[in-house]
Copies of this chain bind each other. A is one copy, B any other.
Amino acid sequence: MTAPPADLETPCLLLDRARLERNCARMKAKMATLGLALRPHIKTAKCVEVAALACDAGRRLTVSTIAEARFFAARGFANIVYAVGLVPAKVGPLREIALDNGARIAGIVDTAAAAEAVAAAAAAMDFELPLYIEIDTGDGRGGVLPDAPELEAIAAILATCDGVAPAGVLTHAGQSYRCHGVDEVRAVAETERDGVTAAAARLRAAGFACPEVSAGSTPTATHAESGDGLTEMRPGVYVFGDLDQMALGSCRYDDIAVTVLASVIGHNRQQGHLLIDAGGLALSKDISAGEFLDRVGYGWLADIDSDRAAPIENLYVAGVSQEHGIVRGKDGGAVDFDRYPVGSRLRVIPNHVCMTAAAYDRYHVLTGNSVETWSRAVGWY
């Protein structure tokens, strides 16, 4: 990796194309090995060029906002799952996006009440929306338990009501983000697969159609040892990687493809810290990797012109305010002010790249010595 051009304005997002391509190829190969379709969750990247690299021939995508559904459907991604619990008010926008682009856009529900309300809204528009039943395989956020009585009640609504059609079952074992070590992640991957395939089997045994059996998060997709009974997986953050995923064992440090380019804007020798122009907005206030790694704060640091084989060992972003990042030495170590003069630039390695990237409307994509700009689909509508 060469240094980014000197005229890039800071803070900005850098994306290393070679690493991105390697990450995408690795997950495609993994899904091929498991015999599963890949439906990347594009909430991380929100970028059509990344989606094109990430998708297999099926060009399936998972999205988290109406804005993403609209953006990708208009750009030739015609098989989309909006994987946030659907409510009647969002049926109209999804219908419009589907019809305008000849796309199949499916939603998810996890209660009979939601399924009925969505069905009524869609039927009133003379539209039919495919719906997955969300299954809780241990995360405890949304979804019905595989053995809950409500599972069949929802399936009955999808099978019989106008306005909806059964798409299958879907789960996200978000507890994989709380694992310590690859063995725990592997166990969660099995729990995820067991739960969602059990739900599918139960539906089929009761005579309901269950075309898709969808699972996956970046940790579980990376470490799953079997895809039996599944049809697809939906990892997202693997395209970029971050400190969180590194700590979970989903990537190595030198797989991390997105960094924040920042300028040193101050030397506070009295307090012993550098100030950079990447603060709480540019980095986000996500400190999730701190659960796994010592002295992460709001991110690690790297020199701009290194190959980033290693981060700058003794520095981290210890604090943020809106537009200021405070860079301190780890464990009270001194900052080498002369090495980082005011106006010099650093990269920040993010904790959780989904949150960090959210503040930006574009990537500066580095390929060898060239830079291009890729847009992000920001906002909700």
List A residues at the B interface (Cβ < 8 Å).
7, 9-12, 43, 64-66, 84-89, 93, 110-111, 113-114, 117, 136, 140-143, 145, 148, 174, 263-268, 270-271, 275, 277, 280-282, 284-287, 321-324, 326, 341-343, 354-355, 358-361, 378-381
* A360 neighbours in B (Cβ, 8 Å): 379
Complex contact A380–B9 (CB within 8 A): yes
Best-surrounded residue of A86, A140, A380 (most CB of chain B within 10 A) = A380
Looking at chain A's contact residues, the main secondary structure is loop
* A111 neighbours in B (Cβ, 8 Å): 266-267, 342
The residue on B at minimum CB distance from A266 is B85
Alpha-carbon distance A164/B246, docked complex (angstroms): 46
A-B contact pairs, 20 of them (CB 8 A): A9-B380, A10-B380, A43-B322, A43-B323, A64-B322, A65-B323, A84-B277, A87-B263, A110-B268, A111-B267, A113-B341, A113-B342, A114-B265, A117-B342, A117-B343, A140-B268, A142-B324, A280-B286, A281-B355, A360-B379
Alpha-carbon distance A354/B280, docked complex (angstroms): 10
Complex contact B359–A136 (CB within 8 A): no
Complex contact B266–A89 (CB within 8 A): no
Tell me, rounded to whole Å, the shortest Cβ–Cβ distance linking A299 to chain B: 14
Complex contact B9–A381 (CB within 8 A): yes
* A379 neighbours in B (Cβ, 8 Å): 360-361
Complex contact A281–B341 (CB within 8 A): no
- Answer whether A275 and B9 are a contact pair too, CB < 8 Å, given A266-B85, A321-B174: no
The 10 closest A-B pairs by CB, nearest first: A85-B265, A85-B266, A285-B285, A87-B343, A64-B323, A114-B342, A142-B266, A9-B381, A84-B323, A140-B271
The residue on B at minimum CB distance from A144 is B270
Alpha-carbon distance A199/B143, docked complex (angstroms): 60
Complex contact A9–B270 (CB within 8 A): no
Tell me, rounded to whole Å, the shortest Cβ–Cβ distance linking A326 to chain B: 7
Tell me, rounded to whole Å, the shortest Cβ–Cβ distance linking A187 to chain B: 21
* A323 neighbours in B (Cβ, 8 Å): 43, 64-65, 84
* A88 neighbours in B (Cβ, 8 Å): 343
Tell me, rounded to whole Å, the shortest Cβ–Cβ distance linking A80 to chain B: 15
Complex contact A267–B43 (CB within 8 A): no
* A324 neighbours in B (Cβ, 8 Å): 84, 141-142
